[in-house]
Each structure stands twice: as structure tokens, then as C-alpha cells.
Amino acid sequence: MLSFIRKRSLSSLISLIGLLVLVFFLSRLTGDPAALFLPVEASAEMKQQFRELHGLNDPLLVQFGHYVGSVMTGDLGESLRKARPALDVVLEAFIWTLWLAAITMSLVAVAAIVVGSLAAFRSGGFFDRFSSMISLIGASVPDFWLAIVAIVVFSIQLAWLPTSGTGSVLHWILPIAVLFVRPFGIIVQVVRGSMIGALSSAYVKTARAKGVKAGPIIFVHALRNAMLPVITVMGDQAASLLNGAVIVETIFGFPGVGKLMIDSILQRDFNVVLAAILVTAIAIFIMNVLIDLAYALLDPRIRH
Amino acid sequence: MKRTMVFGALMAASLTAGISPAAAGSGPIKIVLAEEADLLEPCMATRSNIGRIIMENVSETLTELDVRGKKGVMPRLAEKWEQNTDGSWRFHLRHGVTFSNGTTFDAKDVKHSFERIMSPKNACESRRYFGGMNVAINIVDDYTIDFKVDPAQPILPLLMSLVTIVPEETPLEFIREPIGTGPYKLSNWTPGQQIVLSARGGYWGEKPQVTQATYLFRADPAVRAAMVQTGEADLSPSISQLDATNTKTDFSYLDSETVYLRIDHNIAPLNDVRVRKALNLAIDRQAFVGSLVPDGAVLATALVPPTTLGWNPDVKVFPFDPDGAKKLLAEAKAAGVPVETPITIIARTANFPNVTEIMEAIQAQLQDVGFKVDLKFVEVAEHEGYYSKPFKEGRGPILVAASHDNSKGDPSFTMFFKYASKGTQAGFSDPKVDDLIQRATAAVGDERAKLWSQLIAYLHDDVVADVLLFHMVGFSRVSERLDFKPTIATNSMLQLSEIGIK
């Protein structure tokens, strides 16, 4: 197992370095941060001074050398816009995103597995058709629309929840509810499909013939075998949440990493972009390792 | 017994109600803004997302511009000023002023503040207002300071309204905790969430009614409007026109943004004045107002709003005259001007409300009179590349849709950059324009206003410099518990001391 993790870490490290090199040069291709930091009226001399101050006048390779040097010592540089360490800025935001993603995905996993399994158990029945409709709507509804409607209904009309922001448990409910919908819709479908396969297999028929009750059949015998594709899709969905839920963060004023990353790209705050990519890439790598471990746990064929 | 208690409670309630007008009128408020301040650096306060929070609230200036009345430049940290015989300016500073860190304000702080702005060790934005000037500062005594500027600056007192004063101990590098002489001090800053300013004791001026201001940031205008409606915030200086439906809380105000199409006169067919006139005649500006552009917007004849010195009431908006435009184009074509060359309008995504629809309508109106027009939307960084010099080699004829903000009362903040040969966004070069700008910049009083008026007329009627469109209005939502009307300066500065609590 350890050697497996070691191998994965090494290959991930290589792709991470490749990614950082690529982003370093690509981001610099977008142009000059001075033009965005300073107002349009700023003189060429002021822009020149700004570039000098931030080492942007050096040849690209020299800048890259400096960057690599400081990354080696754990220094990811300073944010141009915020005049503070880029890593601090990113970690501050990433904690929020991590919590948001973790809570949302946990709720999605429980809800989707229960609903999907029950739908599969009586496939073609009322519950199946009902849940299919709900999950289809969930998977296709645009989240910006859902977010605004949720605010209008729950904050303005009913006045149950705050419109946006942070500060109390109540503030988390709407963003999580909105983020919940799409992955839930997608994963219910996957669970259902996978369960139908598992439920029609020979060992389930045997169990039924032996008089095992529906509950244990679904949740003990079939589910474990049906989980492998579900975990893959859940990993995908979780990764996209870890990259930041830009729209939900923007509408709810939630200080996550998605909006930070978009703003930093638009403002050419290169160090923040690189730090954000580094942090999210590491998080996604860790998550992938966890998914592999989960595979191994669930399926002895992989373990051995 | 029970009845007595109810009676007593009622009495108490009515008493409180009776007293309340005197007892009310102070307390904390919450303000929701569209864009977070990424820095709270005093020398960056001329950038609107920073200035809206700290300008004159935390960091004060020697002078300030009266945007509510017509008093012009007014005293703030300077009590009075005069021009010496050698052309330098002498400022007499206010006594008994302290910074929020307890130190006393004097001439050394003013000198340091100015030198800090001009230092190459930082990227202070306010430096741009002093480009090309040589400034020598002389401290006469603790409360008197001379500024000798070469070339002489008749508007130096106005320029000083842009220089925020920091204590002399402030390092040259950017700071994160601004110390100022203002009525408020920074008491909490949680990046991404909130900034809190609290009123401080020991302020030299009148005690403001707002005791504490919490700034929140929401990018979505509908959410900002909803927050004031639900009471989560008391004031949102900018909401969308669509949400501005409640006459009790929602106000429109001229917000100092002027929208225009900058013409690149260097490339045919835009180098021909008939073609530029035809562009102007082809657009039905009035039809936009009340539809895509909010009611209350003013058709522009200059790049500066009507409250600016030297704004010229005699310059008339180009009429909507498609036949006239067609005729001019035909004339130009007959004279060999390649009027059929496709012209590209470059616009910036989300630059101002309805920018897409407005630009599409303008494109259609220009096409109606025979122009070939493409429309291209770009992000802010790319837009800047088209808007500012050096312009790209080998470019085609381009109109850049842009929005320009000048709430500072004097055209000099606009004219040099947009119209002088060396201006970074100037689409042409005209010696008469250069001369007028130079003379107006150096003039004072009525002469100054007259020269700016002349320039505005010449640019509009003779050069046909650009396609001026609208002075825009913004919408704000103000809770009924506040007594506050936004002004033309609200975009760049929001003085908490001007907010009353009912």
C-alpha cells in the first residue's frame, strides 16, 4: 500500500511541476500587470517603476529562476494587489472552500446513495420515476438562477435565512443547498444505474431466494459492489467543488478560492494564481489517493 | 396590578418615543459594496474601491472639493492657503489635530506624505496626478508649509484634495493598517468578509452620527439590493436599475461616469472628419435614455460631467440625422475615403450596465446609415491594450467603447490623458488642442473656465474627437433609517460623516 502511495505521489509531483511551469509562462503571456494595477492615466514612467519594483522587467527566464528559487524555500511570493504573502491569501480562502466542499459532498453522498438505491430496488416504480425526474432537474438547473431564486424565497419572502455572507451556521445553508443540487442529480443517476446492475446479479437472487430482507440486500450485498463507479463520479464532482464554486461564491459573497482565482487571473496577480493552483492541485491529489484507497477497501480484487 | 404594569409599560414606551428624536441619531451601520478593497493603503485612496472606504473617513487631505454645493475647494486639514509671489503655494495647517495613533499632526507629516507618494519604493497611485511636475517642499514652521511646483500649478489646492496625509513614521512600502487624522479608525479587517471602521475620540472635527461602519462585499447587484431590503445592510451605493423599484429607498444620481466611443483618428476612414461626424449623426442617443440607459442619464457633449469647471452649455448634442450621416458618407466616398472598410467597436464585458445591448444597438444604428461595423467584447486587460498607447501596429479602424470618471471638478484630470498629443488614450494629435490644454492648465479663475470651454467646443464641433454618449446615473438603495443622498463623488468617496441616522 505504502509503495502504491509513494508511486502515486511521485507521478503527481511530476505533473504538478509541469503544471506550475506551464501556468507560470502562460499567465505571463496574458500581459503586463502594471497596466491593470495602475489607472489608465498612469504615465509610462510610473508603469516602468511598478515593473521594476516587482521584478517584472527581468527576462522571463530570470523571473522563472527567481520563482523556482523562492518556491524551493517555501516562499510563494507576494500578492501584487494585496501586498501580502500569496500563500496566506490562498489558504485563507481555501479553508472556506474545503469546508464547503466537504459538507456538501458528504450530504450528497448520503442522500444520493439512499435515493438512488431505493429507486433501483423498484425500478420503473413511482419512486424511481419521481426521483429520476428530480435528479434530472437537479443535474440541469443553472446554479446562478437557483441561487437567486433561493435568496428571493428564503431570505426576502420568508425571511428565514440571511441572503449571503458568513458569520453563523445559517449563512451556510443556502450556499450548501445550491451546491448540493447538481452533484446530487448526477450521482443519483449513477447509483441507480449501478445498483440495477448489482441487484440483477446472481448473488442477489440467491440472497432473495434465501429470504434475506430488502434492506440488507440493498445496503449490505448490492451497494458495496455498486459503489465503484459511484466513487469515481463523486471524486470528479468533489474535484470541481475544490476548484471553487465560482458562481455560488460570487452570489453569496462566500470568501472561497474559486472567486479568488478568477479575480487574480483577471488582475494578473500571478503569484496568487500560482499559489491557488498549487494548493488546489495538492488537495485534489490527496483526494485521488483517498479514492484509490476506498477502491481497495471496497474491492478485494484491487487489494490483492 | 397587571393593568398598572401595562399602563406603566405604555407610559414608558410613549416616553421613549417622545424622547427618541433626541436620543436617536447615532449608531452603527452596514454598507454593502460591489468590490472588495484589496488594500487599505492611504496613497491608493484615489482608486475607488479603496477610496470609498478610507478617503476622508480614515485618511484626510489638506483640502476637499465641495460636491454637494458649489463652494469649490474647501479647507480640511489646511485652514487656508495662498499663492506666494514666486508662484509657490503656502498652506496654513489646522492646529490641535491628532492621528489615530496619538501623534500630533504637523507640517512634517504633510511633507512625508507627499514624498511617500512620489517614492519609487512603492506603487502609489496618487503619484499620477503629479506627473511631469517638479515639487519642492519647504517647511516654514510646524503649521505652515510651502509647495513650489515647476511648472507652476494653479490647481495645486485642488490636487491636494487627492493627497492623503499619513504620520511621518509611516514606512515608504505599502501598509495594511492605515493611520489617519479622520473621524474613524480601522478596527477590524477580515479579508474576503468585512472591514469595520469605528468612530474615534479625539477627532478634531464634529462628531459624526455613524459610530461604526461595517463594509460588506457582494459582487451581485441583486444580492446587494436584497440585503438592504432585509435589513442585513443599511446602504448600497450601487444596485441595478432593475432592482431600483422602491421609491422610498432607491435613488438615482449622476455618478460622474461618462460613456463614449474613442475614435482612432490615425486610421482611414476615421481620419476623415465627415466620417466622424457621420458616426455622431447616425446614433439616436435620446432613444437609449429610459430604455437601455436609465432615466436621468444626460446626453454628453464633453467627456466631463456638467458640474465640472468650464463645461460648455453652448455646445449642442449632435442631432439624430441618419440622412445627414448618409450624405456625409457619400461625400467622403466621392472624395476617395474608403468608407466601406469595416470598423471594429471594442467594448469591455460588464463595463457598465447593459453594455452588450447598448453596443449592439449602436452597431445596428451605424450599419443603418451604411457603415460596416463589427463588435468585439474583450476582458479588462485586453481592453486596456486597445484603449491606451502604444497602439498596436497594423490595426484596422477601431472605436473603443469606454467609460471615464471625473468627479474632481476640473477638466485637467481628463483633457491631457484623453486629448493631448502625449495623452495615453488620445486617438489623435492636434496642435491647437495641445495649446489650449497647456494654457488652460496654467490659467486660473475665469480665464481657466473660458479656456476649458473653448477646448470643449473645439473638440466637439471642429475636431469631432469622439462619439460622446451619456453621463450615466447610478442607483443606490438607502435604508429608511438613514438620512443620506448619494452625490457625483459617491463612486470614489463615501464620507460616513455625511450620513445621518433618523
- Asked if B424's CB is within 8 angstroms of A165's CB, the reply is no
* Same domain (yes/no): A57, A96: no
Can you tell me the distance from the alpha carbon of A131 to that of A191, in angstroms, rounded to the nearest whole number? 12
Question: Do B198 and B187 form a contact (C-beta atoms < 8 A)?
Answer: yes
Q: How far is B417 from chain A (nearest CA, A)?
A: 6
pLDDT higher than threshold 60 for residue B182: yes
Q: Please give the backbone phi and psi of residue B118, each rounded to the nearest 5 degrees, phi first.
A: -85, 0
Task: Give mean pLDDT, residues B407-427.
Answer: 88
Same domain, A91 and A192: yes
Residue with cell 472635527: B205
Say which range, A240-254, B2-16, B329-343, has the weakest mean pLDDT. Answer: B2-16
Considering only CB atoms, B176 lies closest to which of A38, A84, A165, namely: A84
B10 — pLDDT class (breaks 50, 70, 90): very low
pLDDT over 90 for what percent of chain B?
A: 62
Q: Confidence band (pLDDT; 50, 70, 90) for B13?
A: very low
Test A250 with B216 for CB contact under 8 angstroms. Answer: no
Cβ-Cβ contacts under 8 Å, A42 against chain B: 125, 128, 424
CB contacts < 8 A, A to B, total 119
Residue A38 contacts B, CB cutoff 8 Å: yes
3-state secondary structure of B224: helix
Nearest to B39 among A41, A44, A82 (CB): A82
Amino acid letter, B2: K
Contacts of B171 in chain A (CB under 8 A): none
Q: Which chain B residue is nearest to residue A166, measuring alpha carbons?
A: B193
Rounded to the nearest 10°, the torsion over CA B451, B452, B456, B458 is 20
Quick check: B322 pLDDT over 90? Answer: yes
Low-confidence ranges of chain A (pLDDT < 70): 1, 244, 303-304
User: pLDDT, tens digit, for every residue of B208-218?
Assistant: 999 999 999 99
Q: Do B381 and A53 lie within an 8 Å CB cutoff?
A: no
Residue among A40, A49, A269 with most chain B CBs within 10 A, to mutate: A40
Cross-chain Cβ contact B123/A152 below 8 Å: no
Q: Which residues between 172 and 231 in chain A have a beta carbon less than 8 angstroms from any beta carbon of chain B? A: none
Nearest-Cα distance to chain B for A67, in Å, is 21
Judged by a CB distance cut-off of 8 A, whether residue A283 touches chain B is no
C-alpha cell at B444: 486660473
Best of B128, B215, B303, B404 to disrupt the A interface (most A CBs within 10 Å) is B128
- Residue A14 forms part of a structural domain: yes
In degrees rounded to 5, what are phi and psi of residue A152? Answer: -60, -45
In a domain, A77, yes or no: no
Q: What is the pTM of this model?
A: 0.85
Cβ within 8 Å of B, A 153-182 = 155-156, 159, 162-167
Parse chain B into domains and list their residue ranges.
25-35+182-249+479-501, 59-181, 254-474
A53 interfacial to chain B (CB closer than 8 Å): yes
Q: In Å, how far is B423's CA from the nearest CA of chain A?
A: 8
Shortest CA gap A184–chain B (Å)? 26
Q: How far is CA A296 from CA A9, A227, A239, B427, in A?
A: 17, 12, 20, 66
Q: Which residues are paired to B403 by β-bridges?
A: B259
A8 domain-assigned: yes
Whether residue A100 is found in the same domain as residue A205: yes
φ, ψ of residue B12 to 5 degrees: the values are -60, -45
Predicted pLDDT of residue B31: 95
What is the arithmetic mean of pLDDT over B476-487? 91
Are residues A99 and A59 part of one domain? no
DSSP B55: B
Sort B39 into a burial class: Cβ within 10 Å, 0-12 / 13-18 / 19+. Answer: buried
Domain check: are A145 and A22 in the same one? no
Q: What is the DSSP string of B247-303?
A: TTTEEEEEEEEEEEEEE-TTSTTTTSHHHHHHHHHT--HHHHBTTTB-TT-EE-SSS
Asked if residue A67 belongs to a domain, the reply is yes
State how far the Cα of B235 lies from the Cα of B255, in Å rounded to an integer. Answer: 16
Distance from CA of A44 to the nearest CA of B (A): 9
Number of domains forming the structure of chain A: 2
Instruction: Tell whether the model's pLDDT for residue B19 goes beyond 70.
Output: no
Between helices A86-121 and A170-199, what is the axis angle to 10°? 40
Q: Which residues contact B46 (CB under 8 A, 6 or more apart)?
A: A39, B125, B126, B129, B162, B492
Say whether the peptide bond before residue B183 is cis (omega within 30 degrees of 0).
Answer: no
Task: Name residue A84's amino acid.
Answer: R
Q: Residue A11 and residue B178: Cα distance in Å, rounded?
A: 47
Check: CB of residue A190 under 8 Å from CB of residue A230: yes
Q: What 3-state DSSP class applies to B354? A: coil
CA–CA min distance A42, chain B (Å): 5
| Chain A residues touching B217 at Cβ < 8 A | 253
Residue B22: predicted pLDDT = 40
pLDDT of residue B446: 87
- Best A100, A163, A262 residue to mutate vs chain B (most B CBs within 10 Å): A163
Q: Which residues of B touch A266 (CB under 8 A)?
A: 379-381
Interatomic CA distance for residues B157 and B129, integer angstroms: 12
A81 part of a folded domain: no
Closest by Cα among A285, A236, A280, A277 to A12: A285
Both A140 and A194 in one domain: the answer is: yes
Mutate to test the interface with A, among B43, B49, B177, B193 (most CBs of A within 10 A): B193
Q: Would you say residue B7 has pLDDT above 70?
A: no
> pLDDT averaged over chain B?
89
At B83 the three-state DSSP class reads strand
Q: Among partner residues A36, A84, A163, which is closest to B226 by beta-carbon distance?
A: A163
> A43 and B128 in contact by Cβ < 8 A?
yes
Q: Same structural domain for residues A202 and A66?
A: no
B18 pLDDT band, cuts 50/70/90, is very low
pLDDT of B207 over the 60 cut: yes
pLDDT at B12 over 60: no
Complex ipTM, two decimals? 0.86
Question: Per the CB < 8 Å rule, is A251 touching B223?
Answer: yes
As a whole number of angstroms, the distance between CA A292 and CA A20 comes to 24
The DSSP bridge partners found for residue B89 are B83, B147
b/e sequence A65-92, b meaning 16+ C-beta within 10 Å: eebeeebeeeebbbbbbbbbbbbebbeb
Domain with residues B254-474, CATH architecture: Roll (3.10)
Q: Do A83 and B176 touch (CB under 8 A)?
A: yes
Query: Residue B93 carries which side chain, given as an amino acid letter?
Result: L
B176 to A162: CB separation less than 8 angstroms, yes or no: no
- Pick among 3.90.76.10, 3.40.50.1000, 3.40.50.300, 3.40.50.970: CATH of B59-181: 3.90.76.10
- pLDDT tens per residue across span B216-239: 999 888 899 999 999 999 999 888
Q: Give the model's pLDDT for residue B21.
A: 40
Q: What pLDDT score does B4 carry?
A: 43
DSSP annotation string for chain A:
-HHHHHHHHHHHHHHHHHHHHHHHHHHHHT--HHHHHS-TT--HHHHHHHHHHTT-SS-HHHHHHHHHHHHHTT---B-TTTSSBHHHHHHHHHHHHHHHHHHHHHHHHHHHHHHHHHHHHTTTSHHHHHHHHHHHHHHHS-HHHHHHHHIIIIIIIS--S-SS-SSSTHHHHHHHHHHHHHHHHHHHHHHHHHHHHHHTSHHHHHHHHTT--HHHIIIIIIHHHHHHHHHHHHHHHHHHHHT--HHHHHHHT---HHHHHHHHHHTT-HHHHHHHHHHHHHHHHHHHHHHHHHHHHH-HHHH-
Answer whether CATH 3.20.20.70 is correct for domain B25-35+182-249+479-501: no
Is the same domain home to A107 and A178?
A: yes
Question: Which cell goes with B30?
Answer: 452596514
CB contact under 8 A, A82 and B191: yes
**Residue at a domain's end among A14, A49, A72:** A72
Indicate the range of B182-196, B331-345, B384-398 predicted with least confidence.
B384-398
Backbone angles phi, psi at B74, to 5 degrees: -115, 160
pLDDT tens-digit readout, B125-175: 888 888 778 899 999 999 999 999 888 888 888 889 999 999 999 999 999
Question: Which residues face A93 on adjacent strands?
Answer: none
Report how far residue A7's alpha carbon sits from residue A10's, in angstroms, rounded to the nearest whole number: 5
Q: What is the mean pLDDT of residues B377-389?
A: 85
Has residue B321 got a pLDDT over 60? yes
Nearest-by-Cβ selection for B125 from A39, A83, A155: A39
pLDDT recorded at residue A3 = 77
Question: Cβ–Cβ of B39/A81 closer than 8 Å?
Answer: yes
pLDDT computed for residue A1 by the predictor = 66
End-of-domain residue from the set A13, A38, A72: A72
The answer to whether A253 contacts B132, with C-beta atoms less than 8 Å apart, is no
Q: Is residue A79 part of a domain?
A: no
Of A25, A45, A72, the domain-final residue: A72
Same domain (yes/no): A146, A26: no
Residue A201: give the domain boundaries.
86-303
- β-strand B78-83 against B398-405: which pairing, if any? unpaired
Residues of B in Cβ contact (< 8 Å) with A49 = 120, 123
Q: Which residues of B touch A30 (CB under 8 A)?
A: 381
Q: Integer distance in angstroms from the first to the last C-alpha of chain B?
A: 36
Most A CBs within 10 Å, among B230, B351, B389, B408, to test the A interface = B230
Q: What is the pLDDT of residue B82?
A: 92
Fold match flag (B25-35+182-249+479-501 vs B59-181)? no
Q: How many Cα atoms sit within 13 Å of B456 on the Cβ side?
A: 28
Q: Which of A46, A159, A266 sits opposite B380 (nearest CB)?
A: A266
